[in-house]
C-alpha cells in the first residue's frame, strides 16, 4: 500500500511540474491556481492514475519477466509499458481538459512544445526504470544479507549442538572413570590420557567460531579422540587413517570427522571377542570417507540420524556437493573437501 501511495503522489507532483513548465513555455507566465483549479485537479488526478498504473504494470511484469533472470529484457519491457501508459494518460488528459481552458487544448496548440514533452516523458521513463532497478537491487541485497545472517545463525546453532555433545557430563564422567582406573595401573598412560582429554576439550572450544578448519587440524583432534576411546575399549576398537599430506590443507566444517567416528563407536555393538575397525581414508572426487562394519544398535538409530543430519545441514552452507551415505554391510559416510573461504 505504501508503494502505491508513494508512486501515485510522486507522479502527481511530477505531472504538476510538467504542466507548469509547458504552460510557462507557451504563455511566458505560470498559471494562477484560482483561475486554473480545474486544470490542476485534472493534472493531479492524471498523475496519480499514471503512478497507480505503473505500479500495477510492474507487478504484472515481475510475474512474467523476472529482474533476476533477464535484467535487460525486464528493463526494456518496463520502459515500453510505461511509455504506453504515459502516452495514454496524455491523450486522456487532452480529451478531458476540454472546457477547462479559455482555448481548447489540442495537439495543434501544443505542437511547439511536443518535443519538450516527449523529452520530459523519455527522461521520466528512464528515471522510473532506474528507480525500479535500484529498488530491485536493494531488495535483493537485503534478502541476500538476511539469508546470510540466517544461515550463519543456523550454522552457529549446529556447531553449538556439537559443542554440547563434546562437553557433555556423560563424556566427562566416562573419561574421569578411565583416568581413575589408569592411575592404579600406569601413571604414565594416565598422564597421556589427561593430555589428550585436555586436547579433546580445547579443540571444540577453539573452533566454535570457525566456519571451516583444515583436514590436518581435524585429524589431530580425531587422533586424540581415538586415543581416549582406545584406552577405554582396548582391543575391541581399532582404526586406520589413510589420508595423504596433500589433503591436509583442504577444509571441512569443524568436528565433522570426529562426529562420524563418535557415531561409529556410539551406534555399534563390539567387544574384544568381536572387535570393530574404523577406517578414515581418501576417496575419489576429493572426498574423505569414514567406514565401519554395520552393527547398528536399533535403539540408537534416531540419534544417529540426528548426527548425520547435522553434518548435511552444515555442508549446505558451503557447497552443492552431496554428503554420500551408504548403509549396507559396511556403513560409510563420505564428506567433500572444501577450498578455503
- Check residue 25 and give its pLDDT: 57
Q: Which CATH number fits domain 167-336: 3.40.50.1360, 3.90.1150.10, 3.30.390.30, 3.30.565.10?
A: 3.30.565.10
- Check residue 287 and give its pLDDT: 96
Judge whether 53 and 85 are in contact, CB under 8 Å.
Answer: yes
- Check residue 277 and give its pLDDT: 94
The 3-state secondary structure of 156-188 reads HHHHHHHHHHHCCHHHHHHHHHHHHHHHHHCHH
The two most distant CA atoms of the chain are separated, in Å, by 114
- Check residue 289 and give its pLDDT: 96
- What are the φ/ψ torsions at residue 20 (nearest 5 degrees)? -65, -40
Q: DSSP character for 322? A: P
Q: How many CB atoms lie within 10 A of CB 73?
A: 12
pTM, entire model: 0.55
Residue 287, C-alpha cell as written in the block: 572426498
- Check residue 303 and give its pLDDT: 58
Cell 598412560, residue? 189
Q: Which residues contact 278 (CB under 8 A, 6 or more apart)?
A: 226, 237, 238, 239, 240, 261, 264, 265, 290, 291, 292
- Check residue 245 and give its pLDDT: 92
Q: Which residues contact 21 (CB under 8 A, 6 or more apart)?
A: 116, 120
Strand 276-283 with 237-242, pairing: parallel
Q: Which residues contact 164 (CB under 8 A, 6 or more apart)?
A: none
Q: Please calculate the CA angle 66-69-73 and round it to the nearest 5 degrees.
A: 70
Tell me the C-alpha distance between 92 and 87, whole Å: 9
> Can you give the pLDDT of all 341 residues of the chain as single tens digits?
666 566 666 666 676 666 666 665 556 566 665 566 666 777 777 777 777 777 777 778 777 777 777 777 878 888 888 888 877 877 777 777 665 555 555 555 556 666 666 677 777 777 777 777 777 767 776 776 777 667 767 666 666 566 555 555 566 667 777 777 777 666 777 778 888 888 777 887 787 778 889 999 999 999 988 988 888 888 999 999 999 999 999 999 888 999 899 889 888 889 999 999 999 999 988 999 999 998 876 455 555 677 788 888 888 888 889 999 998 889 999 999 998 76
Residue 335, C-alpha cell as written in the block: 564428506
Enumerate the CATH 3.30.565.10 domain ranges in the chain, comma separated. 167-336
Amino acid at each position: 500500500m505504501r508503494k502505491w501511495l508513494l508512486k501515485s503522489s510522486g507522479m502527481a507532483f511530477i505531472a504538476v511540474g510538467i504542466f507548469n513548465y509547458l504552460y510557462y513555455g507557451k504563455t511566458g507566465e505560470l498559471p494562477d491556481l484560482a483561475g486554473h483549479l480545474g486544470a490542476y485537479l485534472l493534472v493531479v488526478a492524471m498523475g496519480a492514475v499514471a503512478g497507480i498504473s505503473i505500479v500495477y504494470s510492474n507487478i504484472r511484469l515481475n510475474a512474467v519477466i523476472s529482474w533476476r533472470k533477464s535484467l535487460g529484457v525486464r528493463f526494456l519491457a518496463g520502459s515500453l509499458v510505461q511509455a504506453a501508459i504515459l502516452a495514454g494518460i496524455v491523450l486522456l488528459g487532452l480529451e478531458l481538459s476540454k472546457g477547462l481552458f479559455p482555448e481548447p487544448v489540442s495537439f495543434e496548440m501544443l505542437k511547439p512544445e511536443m518535443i519538450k514533452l516527449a523529452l520530459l516523458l523519455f527522461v521520466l521513463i528512464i528515471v522510473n526504470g532506474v528507480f525500479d532497478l535500484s529498488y530491485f537491487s536493494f531488495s535483493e541485497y537485503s534478502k541476500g544479507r538476511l539469508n546470510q545472517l540466517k544461515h550463519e545463525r543456523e550454522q552457529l546453532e549446529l556447531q553449538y549442538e556439537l559443542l554440547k555433545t563434546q562437553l557433555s557430563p556423560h563424556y566427562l564422567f566416562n573419561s574421569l572413570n578411565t583416568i581413575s582406573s589408569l592411575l592404579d595401573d600406569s601413571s604414565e598412560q594416565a598422564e597421556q590420557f589427561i593430555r589428550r582429554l585436555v586436547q579433546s576439550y580445547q579443540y571444540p572450544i577453539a573452533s566454535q567460531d570457525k566456519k571451516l578448519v583444515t583436514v590436518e587440524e581435524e585429524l589431530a583432534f580425531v587422533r586424540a579422540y581415538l586415543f581416549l576411546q582406545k584406552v577405554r575399549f582396548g582391543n575391541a576398537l581399532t582404526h586406520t587413517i589413510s589420508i595423504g599430506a596433500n589433503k591436509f590443507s583442504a577444509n571441512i566444517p569443524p568436528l565433522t570427522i570426529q562426529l562420524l567416528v563418535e557415531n561409529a563407536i556410539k551406534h555399534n555393538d563390539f567387544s574384544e571377542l568381536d572387535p570393530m575397525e574404523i577406517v578414515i581414508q581418501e576417496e575419489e572426487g576429493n572426498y574423505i570417507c569414514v567406514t565401519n562394519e554395520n552393527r547398528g544398535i536399533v535403539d540408537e538409530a534416531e540419534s544417529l540420524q540426528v548426527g548425520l543430519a547435522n553434518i548435511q545441514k552444515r555442508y549446505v552452507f558451503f557447497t552443492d556437493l552431496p554428503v554420500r551415505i551408504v548403509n549396507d554391510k559396511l556403513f560409510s559416510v563420505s564428506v567433500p573437501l572444501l577450498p578455503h573461504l
